[in-house]
Structure formats: C-alpha cells, structure tokens
Structure 1
Amino acid sequence: MITQPVSVLPGVGEKRQQVLASLGIFTIEDLLTYYPFRYEDIQERNLLEINDQEKVTLKGVVVSAPVVSRFGYKKSRMQFRMMQEHAVFNVSFFNQSYLKDKVEVGEDIAVYGKWDAKRKSLAGMKILASKQEEDFAPIYHVTKAIRQTTLIELIKVAFEKFGNQIEENLPNHLIEKYRLMPRNEAVRAMHFPKDPKENQLAKRRVVFEEFFMFQMKMQGLKQKEHSEKNGISVLYDVERLKNFTQSLPFELTEAQKRVTNEICRDLRSPRHMQRLLQGDVGSGKTVVAAIALYATMTAGFQGALMVPTEILAQQHLESLNQLFDPLEVSIALLTGSTKARDRRAILTGLANGEIDIIVGTHALIQKDVEFSNLGLVITDEQHRFGVNQRKVLREKGWHPDVLFMTATPIPRTLAITAYGEMDVSIIDEMPAGRIPVKTSWISQKQFDSTLDWAQAELKKGHQMYVICPLIEESEALDVKNATEIYEHLAAYYAPDYKVSLLHGKMKNAEKETIMEEFKDAGSQILVSTTVIEVGVNVPNATVMFIIDADRFGLAQLHQLRGRVGRGSDASYCILVANPKNEMGKERMKIMTETNNGFVLSEKDLELRGPGEVFGFRQSGLPQFLIADLVNDANILEVARDEAMAVWQIKDWQILPEFSSLAKVVQPDAGETYFD
C-alpha cells in the first residue's frame, strides 16, 4: 500500500526513517511526491561555448593523476587535469577525496561543476557516469544527514515497488479539458523525465493539482461558512440607515456605495458573512465600517471593531464619534491601557447591552469580555492579527457576521489563496479632491540640502514625518537609526521648530502623548519608526522623508506614504536611499511613478515573492511544493474557477466521477491552513 511507512523500503532503518521524517516524508506516497525543487542541466558542453561562472558538464580525458592535499580540520582538495580536444584545464573537488578512485589517467570522464574562465578551471560538484542517459538532474531539498544520491535511490525503489498504486485524484473531465498528464506518469516524470519537455508537462499537471486541491478546500470552507444554518439575519432599519448616510458631510464615492451595498446584503442574509474589504490608503474604508456598524445597531445587535494598535483604536473612536454625532449611539474604547475601574464599567455595559459599539485592540478577545448580542465583528489591518485571535473574537457571539478590512492592497493571486474562503469587496476609487502625493527619490548625500527645501513647507505652518527603520544602532545593518536622525534634525532646525521622537519601545502612554502633541501641532517634526504606518491621521502633515527606503517593501512604503496627503494641500514623500542592487533601484523608481497601491503590490509580488508582500512572513499563505503564486498565476485562476464549478454541483461527493476527489477533499480539510 502506498500509505505504508517508508520503513518498508530496504535500507530504511529507524535512523534513516527519522531523517526522512525531518523532511516531511513519512509514507511511501510522501516520498513519491517529494519533488525536486530545481533541475540542473548536465548535458555535455564544449569549452568554446561556455560562460564564466556557468554550471556545466565537461567531458574529456584525464591527463594527470589526482592529487589530494589536506588543510584545516578535516578539509581536503583533490586536483587533476583534463583535456577536451586540444585544450587542457584544471579540475578541483573540495572535501570529496573519496572520488580519487574514480579518476584514472587516460580514461574518459564527465564532470559537473562551475567554470572559472580566468583560471581556466572547473570547481567540480559531481562525477557523472560516462554514458549519461539524462540531460538534466533533479535537485532535492536535503539535510546533511542524507545525500541527494541516497534520496534518489530510495525514490527509484519506491517507484518500482509502488508506482502502479498511484491513484488518479482529478476528475476525468478536467484531465481531458486541460490535456493533463495522468497522475502516475506525472509523478514519474517529476523525478525521472525522459526529456525537458516531458518534465514541463509533468510540472504543469502537478501545479494544477496543487492549486485545484487547495481551492477545493477553500471553496468547501466558503460553503460551510455560508450555510443558511450558520448565520444571523441583521434586519436593519432601512430608513434610519438611509438618513444616516444622507447626513454625512460628504458624498460617498461610487466604489463606497457598491461595497456598502454588498455588505448590507450580507448582513440581511441568514448566511454567515465572511467578507474582505480592500481599499487603498485614504479610500474611505472607515466610513463604510461606520455604516455597517450603524446598520447592525439599528437591528438591535452590537458591533465590535478590533484594530492592531492603541493609537489607531483611539483614532477610530474619534472618527466614529464625529460620524455618529448627534445620533444616540453608545460607543466605548477598550485597550490594554484602559483603567481597571473604566474597564469594569465597559464590561458591564457590553454584557447588558448598554454599549452598542466597542472599539479596541486585542484586549477585546480576553476571556472576561462578554457581549449581550454581538452581530458584527470588524477587524482592521486584519493581517496584523493571527488567525486564532480573529477566531476568538468571532466566538464572542453566536456566529456574528465578519468583515475584514485592510489598507494593504493585496494582489489578486494572494487574495485568492490567503483569503480564498472569503468574499472580496474592493474600494478602487479615491474621494474627490484628493491630491496625489508627489514622490521623489534622493541619495543619502542629498538629505541635508533637501531639508532646506522642506523648511519652506514648515514655514507655511505644515508638519513633517521622518521615518527610520531602526531605533538604535546596529552593527549588522548600515542603517540610519531614529535616535541619530532625531538628534541631527533637532540641531538642524533649532530653535525654530520642535522635533519629537516616537518608537515602538516606548510605553503606550508616552506614545499617545507624543502623538497627541504632533496632532495638535505642538511639535512640527515627528521622527518615528514604522509605528505610524497604520491609520494615523494628521491632515496638516505634508512632508514625509523615509530614510533607507530600500529596506522597506513597496507595500510598506505605500502605507507610510499614505500618512501624508490627507488634507487639501499638496504633499510630498521623499525616499532617501542608496540601493545596492538593481532590484532596490527598480523599487525606488516605481514608487516615484505610481500612487496606485494595487499596481505596487503586484510589482512587489513580482520582485520579492509572496512571503514579503505583507511586510512579514505571517501572512496566512499555504506552502506549495511546486506551484508558484507569481509564475503560475494563470493556472491558479483556472483551478479556482474549476473548484467553484465542482462545488456548485449538488452532492458532488457521491457522484462516481468525483469518488477519488472526495477521498482527498475532506469536509473540514481547509481549516488546517488557518490554525
């Protein structure tokens, strides 16, 4: 059976079983689907056609006996000379002295290694069989405890013994529709392809399978979340909601109206809402959240808004109070800094229903926080919270509707994977009258001369942010730190302007004092780390310097830039950076060319990969073995559409065509991606 442990294979004792387990290989099927992460071209090449530092296979005659010299602790170098046609070159192998017996003068030999054109020498990696059957070799992720050759031998044995037990798991109509290779052939061709073309066909099949299986689980989770029995109907007062939206001091954009309608439809529906609201910095998500919270309140339910920082929580409270004034809405704030006496009063108000809306940080998910009738949960900048934190807040009520908000524009492929079980609403339009922020890129040397230009903005009564990546000096990174910049600016602008310093190591009360002072124009320049990235609103700030901007991702730079340009005056963002490579230069260049967060996020995905788009690794993304979210984006789209189509077939699990698929896609299988 393919599900047997790898220990049934000859040569796999207890020790090797442990080594394989460390690679995630426990069963025969795990071993057969442990695919190479790349392939090396080992076809024999001619000296005249190869480039410096290229990995190549060179065949020739050994013209000098191998000499092994030892140095350091257990280190060795084996050297000999080879001749190809009339050209002689050196070959060296480090720490592989056991290969000496394979090198004989006068014999033909093929060596795979890296070519050094200046020295006319080959740094050998492996000696190949003189008659090479394949033109390229699979390379696997291994540890020091197991060699590539050992792993390949185990896979060969496993395939010979169990290859005929590899079952097809895709429905026939998909295999025919997309001309996919059968699964057993694809598994073989991933490890032992006849040629590169066969390997490409196998990879295409495996990528589709990975994406399709994942999307089947996501769509299953979506069906479960949307089931009629699983939600509540928030039957809000339509007239009161209309009056509220008409009383707002501004006209909603068409995009805001569209997403508000989508959310309101979900609220009224008995199905459980699980919706992601994406909107660029300044697109007006807070107003949409306020409308949803007000609708919930008119139906007799409570609403909760959870945000990642106390500064943002305080700001949301102020925004909601302004929007709801003079309506009778009871709003409270609960954070880690809330005093014990106030906290007790808030907990009582939530439990007895006196408080309609609660705004808070992760303090909202503590055990003693209980609601009378929670109907809607909104999490802002939701990727800052772990899955379990979001889940705990949802469980504070009886299946409350859930709205996730983010100002981090997420590329479509990442939205489909990270939030595949959710419905997505996008605010893709900015409010009228908003002036785009002008972005420039300067070198470190130009910083002081640009400060003279910035002084003209300060003279107009405007304010300025200066953002730094680190708080204290680090020997590991040549990065200007906040303290050093603060001291430099304080001296530079003294005595005309006050400079403040804000960073993450300060206590919350101290941060709030500094932020309040800046908001009230008590200080004109705020030097800060990325604490101010999310949500801080000071319309009078028109200039932002970002020091060592190449240390940040595009999405994070865009978030930071969104802190200026919030008023009616022209605003400026100056990126101070000396990028060391082409990718760094490309990122600075694109920041100056567009203010569209979605364009930037797509570029960030292309340049830096999916794990970095959110600015950190905890992004809820699954780890695919072969599939690549950037290069295989079109296959992901197709796989999602096909998975949706399968889930629309009534009781597909009991139909003969889907019997093998039903075994793989268990009802709750998708949940493991998020816990």
Structure 2
Amino acid sequence: MPSLSDSVSVLAGVGPKRVAALKELDIGNINDLLTYFPFRYEDLQAKDPSELTDQAKVTLKGTVAVVPVLTRFGRKKNRLNFRLLIDEHTIIPVTFFNQPWLKDQLEVGAEVVVYGRFDAKRQSLAGMKILASANNAMGSIYPANKSIRQGTIKQLVEAAYDQYSEKIVDLVPEPLRDQYHLLHRREMIHDMHFPADDAAAQAARRTAKFEEFYLFEIRLQIVRQQDHTLHGQPLAYDLTALKAFIDSLPYELTAAQKRVVNEICFDLKRPVHMNRLLQGDVGSGKTVVAAIAMYAAITAGTQAVLMAPTEILAEQHADNLAKLFADFPVNVALLTGATKPAARKTLLPQIANGTVNLIIGTHALIQPEVSYHHLGLAVIDEQHRFGVNQRRALREKGQQPDVLAMTATPIPRTLAITAYGEMDVSVINELPAGRQPIRTTWIRSNQVDSVLREVKAELSTGSQAYVVTPLIEESEAVDMKNAEAIYDRFKAEFEPTYQVGLLHGRMKNDEKNTIMADFKANKFQVLVATTVIEVGVDVPNATLMLIYDADHFGLAQLHQLRGRVGRGQKASACILIADPKNQLAIERMTTMTNSNDGFVLAQKDLELRGPGDILGRKQSGVPDFKVGDPVADLNILSVAQQAAKETVAAPNWDDKDANLPLVAFLSTTAHQNSTMD
C-alpha cells in the first residue's frame, strides 16, 4: 500500500543516481520530498509593460508577432529572437540564449507567457523560461546542488503530490489547528509548493513552521516524560546535616541560590529521574549550589561525581570542595587522565566500595574500568563542552543517577526551548553581594600604548593581568595578533620589573597546569594566553583583562573571558582591542561595553551569529529546521512548545483518536532515524 514513507525511487525517473543526489539534500522518502519546501518564490503574475522597472524579473503575456529567428554562433551557442505582441500598441523583443528547442513551441499568433529580466533602456526581455500559463502567480525556488537541478526537484515534488496527496494526513491535532487557525496538512503542503498568491504562501508557511516546531517539541516532551516516569531513585537526604553545611559557608546564599537549591532538593527526594540544567552568569555561585546538592546526595548514603571539561578546572573544583567539606564526612578524590597509575590503582577500588563518596574528574570518570558503589548524583560542569555520548555514559554509571548540568554560558530562551527542551531549568539570575561590575572599554589598535601604561599602573598596586589573543603563532591566512608575538612584546616591555607567562592549547597538560598554578601564586604578573583560559582557575588577584582582535570573538565568548577577572574584592576592567571591518563587528563591541548581563549578551549573540556559533555546531543541540527560525520565530516556537507539553501531559494521549496520525508518524520517523544511525 502506498505510504509517505515510500522511497523516492518509486517515482518515475528516479534511479540510483538520482536517489543518491536527493540523499545529499536529506531527501530519502516521499514525506521528505513533500516537506522539502521552497526557500523563496518568484512573482509570475503577468505584468503590464507600464509597471516594469529596469532589470526586474517579470512575466509578460502576449502573442508571438513574427516567426522566431534562431541564430547559431560559437561552439554550442545560439540565440532565439522573436517579438511579443502585448497589446495593439506594445511589442516587446524577446531573446532566449542556448534554448533552441523553444522555437518549436513558438508559432505566430499563439499566446505565450514568458518569464525573464526586463531591460528598460532597450525595452526588451532577456527570456528565462516559457510558462505553461499565467494562472500560477508564484514560482517556487528550491535549494539545489550540483547533483540535481531545482527544476528537477520541482518536477519530482509535483509528481509526488499528484500520486500521494490522498495519503497526507493531519499531524497537528484538530483542536490545536482550530485554536491557532492552522491549515490542514494537505493544504499546507500544496500551498507551500504551489501557492496561488503571496497570502496563500504566507499562510502555508505559518502552518509549516508551527508543525515543524510542534513535532520537534513533542519528541522532547516524550523524552522528558520518560525521564520523569521510567527512572529515578529517591534520595532521602538528611535535612539537618544539609542545613549545618549551608550554615558553615563563609557567606550568605543569595535569594536566587536559595531558590535553586530548593528546586534541586525537591527533585532529589522525588522517585523520578532528575535531569536539570543549572544556568547562571559568570561568578553567580553555581559551584556552591552544586556542592550543596552533592552533599545532600552523600547524606542519603550515595556517591556524587562532578565532571569538568579540563584537568585544570577539575583540580580547582577538587581543591575548593576539599576545603568546603573539610569538617564534614566527605571523602573527596580527583580522577583525571593525569592521575598516576599507582594512585589510580588505589583509588578505583575505593570508588567501587564506596569509601570515596565525592569524585571530581574529567571524562576519566566514565571510563569502563571505573565502577561506582552507589552513584546518586552526577554534576556536569560546562556541560555543552561534552558530547551527547559522554553525557549519556555518565548517566549510565549506576542506576540512572540524578543529573545536574551546569553552564556559565547563559542560555537565551530560544536555546532553552530547543537545545534543552527535555530538561528542567534552574536560573541563578543575581550575583553574590560584593561583586562589582567589570568596567569594559573598547579601543583601536593604535591606542595600545596608552593601555600599556594602564597595565603598569594596575600591576604597581599588586594586581595581575590577563592578555588574550585569538592565535598561538603568526599566520599567513589571517592578519591577527598571536600569543607568541604579544608574549615577546610584553616581556620586553615589563620584565624584569614584572614577570610574563605564556599559555596556549598546544602545550602539554602538565605544562599548562604548572603555568596556571604559577599565575595563581603570583609568580607571573601578566599571563599572555589564548582562549584556553576561557574556563579556568579562579585568580582573585587578577583585575585586568586585555583582549586583542576582540572583534573575532563572539559575545558569549568575550563575556566568558571577561569573567576571568572581577573574582575578588578589587574593581576590575576589561579592555577590548579591535579594528572592526563591518557593522556587525562594531555592534558586538558596543554591546560588550554597554552590558555586563550574560543573558542579554547571549540573546544578542544568538541574533547576530546563530545558535551553532554560540554553543559549537555539534554541541548546540539546535536542529537545522527546514522552515522555522528559532530566533525570528520565537513566538511560534514558544506556542508550539506549550502545545506539545499539553498534548503529552494528557492521560493516555497516545491512544486518543485525534492523536493517532501523530503517534504513527512519530513511530515511523523514530524507526527511520534509528536505522539511519
């Protein structure tokens, strides 16, 4: 029986080569083809010659006034000329290049519809194609590649719709279609490909966007529901012991931290699997919230782990947490790739028998030889730096431990809905008392000498400075400052009065760790580095950050770098050095100087650069939607998410008649995706 899941090979003219060409466009079956929508439309409505403007693409309707003349010149080159009689007063010369077969379609006195580019000076038309009629006012333009032309795509879409339109069923349930005034799916697909006019195209596109977002969000909500119902171990933590630990902290928690702690602790006690994202700006106090959550898990008799993206960060967490838990029954251990074999041999049995109940580390925590006695909580720091498989491997250690993912990259609402839609989200939206905003200024490269004087003045007070460059060494491909050249310049300028260090990603881990530790110990007063310090060790004494070629960084990354200073009680500053070449880069610089709010900057970065550039293309978690734009269409995305939540939250939603086509579609596409993987 014919089905939208049939391979495109069932269509006439689609052999193995064309199947392969379509596969390059992610078109494998009939549904893929029918939802391969045009990215724009040409206006094919026949125009009056008086309306025409120079070089506009237009459609003219008339009759062939004279016998067409075909002239051949050069190798395989030809020109077809004829005159088009529009009305009794208007004749337009028409020229087609290298389409000799059109001559047979043009008889004197025959009515034709010609599409082409109008030349106002010559009052002529450079023909592109002859249309079947002037009734179809909109011409669909499809994304194509070198393997398949868009004209072929259009023909295949028409064939698929003719043969399979009766098989197109509504995926968005009727109550939602009525509530949001959406088209039936068959009508939407027709009007996306063959709209009668612009209004029809717009209505179809609006429905297509909602359907696309709704299907995406339905899948996320199913994952979320399964997380909340299929797994989970309630952690009966000791509230008295937990309060004693919180009271021992050397500072009062902010209202935001208290709210987030309550959200996490509520989840820990529930017999469902926690999958929560903790987001907060640089310096907002996420780590202490994670410490409270991990101690809660430990008082419940389980183990906790914290996985960090770098050894430097893992060591910092281990040192800080060991100090925090010095007076409490917590046995902290560090496990990274740098852990010596002898220490590892001693440590692994202690993790396996539960002697060690708090393990800090890198991806070494998920190696097959690492077994946990009873893992209750897994905390993932800077979680977007880990791949999906690494995060899954950590969850699979033990009996589906609760997961708390942390990120200091504030997530705009668009990304929260798409990349993290299956997670519960907690936000720390205030800084601890005493944290001063970082003064940010932007200068041109010809003003650097004055900045060096400012650096010396700051160092003379006993403070330290970071100097960041985008490159490690000189490159012929790009004209940007590099760490090695800046390091040489700063050594010549500052030594022997002040010591200058160099840190970049090509160094071995041991070397990087030593340099970072020496900087923290104030053996270097200036550290020249690449973005390897973006997530790094806290150095409260560092009060000045210089960033060369700042216009080559995104806002979120600049904000992360800026967050390396201002971690102590002293006033701190960030100086952006940039000579932006375009308005977009200028806008990034002015935005940075005007805002210290990571959420504002993240939203702006998303608008300027897109989700893949913020979180990294592979890690962003944001799919390449076909018609919807999660930034520009945030309102539709938000409504679709809420609709998906309500659909899945209804009891036995997948057994209701109105939802059966949706359930069948989700089942079919899930099977297709699994076989493709």
Equivalent in the alignment of 1:419 = 420
Q: 2:214 aligns with which of 212, 215, 220?
A: 212
1:455 counterpart SS class: helix
Q: Deviations over 1:116-139 (max 9, x none)?
A: x9x999997933539544444222
Shift of 1:56: 3.1
| Equivalent position to 1:203, from 202, 205, 209 | 205
Letter in 2 for 1:390: R
Return the alpha-carbon distance in structure 2 between the equivalents of residues 345 and 114 of structure 1. Answer: 81
Secondary structure of 1:613's match? helix
Q: 1:126 to 1:349 in 2, by over 3 A?
A: farther
C-alpha distance in 2, partners of 1:420/1:224? Answer: 13
In structure 2, the residue matched to 1:299 is: 300
Q: Which residue in 1 is equivalent to 2:401?
A: 400
Q: 2:184 aligns to what? A: 182
The answer as to whether partners of 1:556 and 1:615 remain within 8 angstroms in 2 is no
Indicate the SS of the match to 2:296.
Answer: helix
Unaligned runs of 5+ in 1: none
Query: Partner of 2:461 in structure 1?
Result: 460
Give the distance between the partners of 1:671 and 1:451, measured in 2 at CA: 60
In structure 2, relative to structure 1, the CA distance for the partners of 1:121 and 1:323 (3 Å cut) is: farther
* TM superposition shift of 1:596: 0.6
- Conservation of the 8 A alpha-carbon contact between 1:42 and 1:112: no
Does residue 573 in structure 1 map to residue 590 in structure 2? no
Aligned match of 1:649: 650
Matched with 2:354 is 353
Distance 1:39 1:616 in 2: 29
**1:496 to partner: Cα distance:** 1.9
Trace 1:132-143 onto structure 2 (pairs within 5 A): 132-143=134-145
Measured in 2, the distance between the counterparts of 1:88 and 1:619 equals: 57
1:305, 1:379 within 8 Å by CA — same for their partners in 2?
A: yes
| Deviation digits for residues 429-471 of structure 1 (CA, Å, limit 9, x no counterpart) | 1101111011111112112322122221111111111111111
Deviation at 1:271, TM superposition (A): 0.7
State which drifts further: 31-40 or 386-395.
Answer: 31-40
Q: Which sits farther off after the overlay, 356-365 or 128-137? A: 128-137
**Residue 606 to residue 358, structure 1, CA distance change in 2 (3 Å):** same
Change (3 A) 1:201 1:668: closer
Aligned residue type for 2:148 = I
Q: Aligned partners of 2:655, 2:168: CA distance in 1, in Å? A: 22
Distance verdict in 2 for CA 1:127–1:406, change over 3 Å: same
Q: Give the unaligned 5+ runs of structure 2.
A: none
Structure 2 counterpart of 1:161, one-letter code:
Q
C-alpha contact (below 8 Å) 2:278/2:407 kept by paired residues: yes
TM-score by length of 2: 0.91
CA distance, structure 2, for counterparts of residue 621 and residue 114 of structure 1: 42
Q: Please report how far the alpha carbon of residue 109 of structure 1 lies from its aligned counterpart in structure 2 after TM superposition.
A: 7.9
Moved more, 162-171 or 552-561: 162-171
The offset of 1:475, in angstroms, is 2.1
Change (3 A) 1:259 1:12: same
Alignment correspondent of 2:288: 287
User: For the aligned residues, what is the CA RMSD?
Assistant: 3.3
Matched, 1:30 2:26: no
> Would you say 1:665 and 2:659 are equivalent positions?
no
Match of 1:488 in 2: 489
Matched residue, 1:585 = 586
Distance 1:280-1:213 versus aligned 2 partners, 3 A rule:
same
Give the 4+ runs in structure 1 shifted more than 6 A: 44-52, 60-71, 76-93, 103-109, 119-125, 670-675
Q: Provide the secondary structure at the position in 2 that maps to 1:567.
A: coil
Cα drift, residue 23 of structure 1: 2.1
Retained in 1: the 8 A contact 2:541–2:568?
Answer: yes
Aligned 1:79-98 pairs, distance under 5 A: 97-98=98-99
Residues 95-144 of structure 1 show CA distances to partners (whole Å, capped at 9, x for unaligned) of x73469569999998454598x9x99999793353954444422222221
Given that 1:241 and 1:294 are in contact with CA atoms closer than 8 Å, whether structure 2 keeps it comes out as: yes
Alpha-carbon spacing, 1:130–1:274, altered in 2? closer, same or farther (3 Å) = closer
Q: Once structures 1 and 2 are overlaid, which stretch shifts more, 541-550 or 501-510?
A: 541-550
Alignment counterpart, residue 148 of structure 1, candidates 122, 147, 150: 150
Aligned ranges for residues 591-606 of structure 1 at < 5 Å? 591-606=592-607
Which residue number in structure 1 is paired with residue 165 of structure 2?
163
Superposed displacement of residue 79, structure 1 = 11
Judge conservation of contact 1:610–1:629 (CA < 8 Å) in 2: no
- DSSP 3-state at the match of 1:665: helix
CA distance in 2, matches of 1:261, 1:66: 82
> In terms of mean alpha carbon deviation, does 80-89 or 523-532 score higher?
80-89
- Give % identity: 50
Match of 1:557 in 2: 558
Alignment match, 2:435 = 434
Match of 1:527 in 2: 528
Distance 2:498 2:336 in 1: 33
Counterpart CA distance in 1 for 2:52 and 2:247 is: 72
Equivalent position of 2:259 in the other structure: 258
Contact 1:499 1:527 (C-alpha < 8 Å) held by counterparts: yes
Q: 8 Å contact 1:437–1:595 — kept in the other structure?
A: yes
Q: Residue deviations 1:239-270, cap 9 Å, x none?
A: 01001001100000000000000101111111
Q: Is the 8 A contact 2:307 2:381 kept in 1?
A: yes
* Aligned counterparts of 2:619 and 2:279: Cα–Cα separation in 1: 18
| Residues 1:478 and 1:156: Cα distance change in structure 2 (over 3 Å) | same
1:262-286 deviation per Cα after TM superposition (whole angstroms, max 9, x unaligned): 1011111111100000010000000
Q: 1:99 to 1:23 in 2, by over 3 A?
A: farther
2:544 corresponds to: 543
Give secondary structure in 2 for the equivalent of 1:295.
helix
Query: CA 1:129/1:662 → structure 2, altered by over 3 Å: closer, same or farther?
Result: closer
Deviation at 1:352, TM superposition (A): 1.1
Corresponding residue number in structure 2 for 1:324: 325
Do the aligned residues in 1 keep the contact of 2:37 with 2:142 (CA within 8 Å)?
yes
Matched letter for residue 269 of structure 1: R
- In structure 2, relative to structure 1, the CA distance for the partners of 1:123 and 1:342 (3 Å cut) is farther
Separation of aligned partners in 2, 1:522 and 1:77: 77
**Amino acid aligned to 1:554:** L
Task: Tell me: CA distance 1:614–1:47, structure 2 relative to 1, closer, same or farther (3 Å).
Answer: farther
Q: Distance in 2 between matches of 1:8 and 1:362?
A: 47
Quote the offset at 1:511 in angstroms. 0.3
How many residue pairs align between the two structures? 666
- What is residue 15 of structure 2 aligned with on the other side? 13
Please, what TM-score do these two structures have when normalized by structure 1? Answer: 0.91
1:406-428 deviations in whole A, cap 9, x for unaligned? 00001111111111111100000
Contact 2:138-2:194 within 8 A present in 1 as well: no
Q: What SS class does the counterpart of residue 526 from structure 1 fall into? A: strand
Amino acid at match of 2:142: Y
Comparing 599-608 with 654-663, greater Cα deviation is found at: 654-663
1:248 equivalent in structure 2: 249
- Within 1, Cα distance between the matches of 2:628 and 2:557? 26
SS in 1 for 2:615: coil
Over 3 Å counting, the alpha-carbon distance change for 1:129 and 1:451 in structure 2 is: same
The 1:430/1:668 distance shift into structure 2, 3 A limit, reads farther
Assess if the C-alpha contact under 8 Å between 1:376 and 1:402 holds in 2: yes
Counterparts of 1:631-646 in structure 2 under 5 Å?
Answer: 631-646=632-647
**Deviation string for 1:511-551 (max 9, x for gaps)?**
01111111111111111111010142111111111111111
1:470–1:77: structure 2 CA closer, same or farther, 3 Å change rule? Answer: farther
Structure 2 distance, partners of 1:81, 1:452, is 75
Q: Tell me what 2:336 maps to.
A: 335
Asked if the contact 1:304–1:376 (Cα under 8 Å) also holds between the matched residues in 2, the reply is yes
Task: Identify if the C-alpha distance between structure 1 residues 386 and 62 changes in structure 2 by more than 3 Å, giving closer, same or farther.
Answer: farther
AA paired with 2:664? K
Question: Are the aligned partners of 1:220 and 1:670 in contact in 2 as well (CA < 8 Å)?
Answer: no
Tell me if structure 1 keeps the 8 A contact 2:80–2:100: no
Q: Distance in 1 between matches of 2:580 and 2:80?
A: 40
Q: CA deviation at 1:39?
A: 2.7
Distance 1:211 1:379 in 2: 28
